[in-house]
Amino acid sequence: MAEHPHAALVRKGYEAFQRGDMDTLRSLMTGDCTHHVPGSHPLSGDYKGIEAVLGDYYGRLAVETGGSFRVELLHVFVDGRGHAMTVHRFTADRGDRHIDENGGIVFRIVGDKISDLDECVEDMARADAFWS
C-alpha cells in the first residue's frame, strides 16, 4: 500500500533537514509558514515566514550546536484532512552540554505544502536548560 501523500511530504522534509538541504525544504513549505517552538529559552517562540523558519530557526540550530543537531524520524501519523504528526528523537551538543530527547511536530498541510509546524518536546525543562 502506498504511503499517504502527507506522510511522504513530511518524510521528505525530515530527510532534507538532515542533509541541510534548505532549497528542498523551501519547496515543501508555504511562503508564510510558521514554526512554533515551545519553551522559555532563546530559541523558543514563533518563526513566521519561510525565511524566519529556515534562517532564523533552522540556521540557528546549526550554529548553536556547531552542526551537531541531528533528528531521527521514528513515526509519521496522518489524518487525511491536512494534518500530520511525527515522533522523532533529536540529539545535539552545545558546549559541554548534550541532549538526547524525544519530540515531535504537528504539521498543518495546505494543498501539497507545509503551512504550520507545532513542535513538542518530551521534557520541556531539559530542553530549556540545554538551549539557555
Each residue's pLDDT expressed in tens, for the chain with a length of 132 residues: 689 999 999 999 999 999 999 999 999 999 999 999 999 999 999 999 999 999 999 999 999 999 999 999 999 999 999 999 999 999 999 999 999 999 999 999 998 999 999 999 999 999 999 999
Q: What pLDDT score does 50 carry?
A: 96
Residue 25, helix vs strand vs coil: helix
DSSP label at residue 68:
-
**Residues in a beta bridge with 121:** 103
- Which amino acid is present at 21? D
Question: Quick check: pTM over 0.85?
Answer: yes
**Residues in a beta bridge with 48:** 34
Distance CA 128, CA 28 (A): 29
Q: Dig out the grid coordinates for 30 from the structure.
A: 508555504
Distance CA 118, CA 50 (A): 15
Q: What pLDDT score does 2 carry?
A: 82
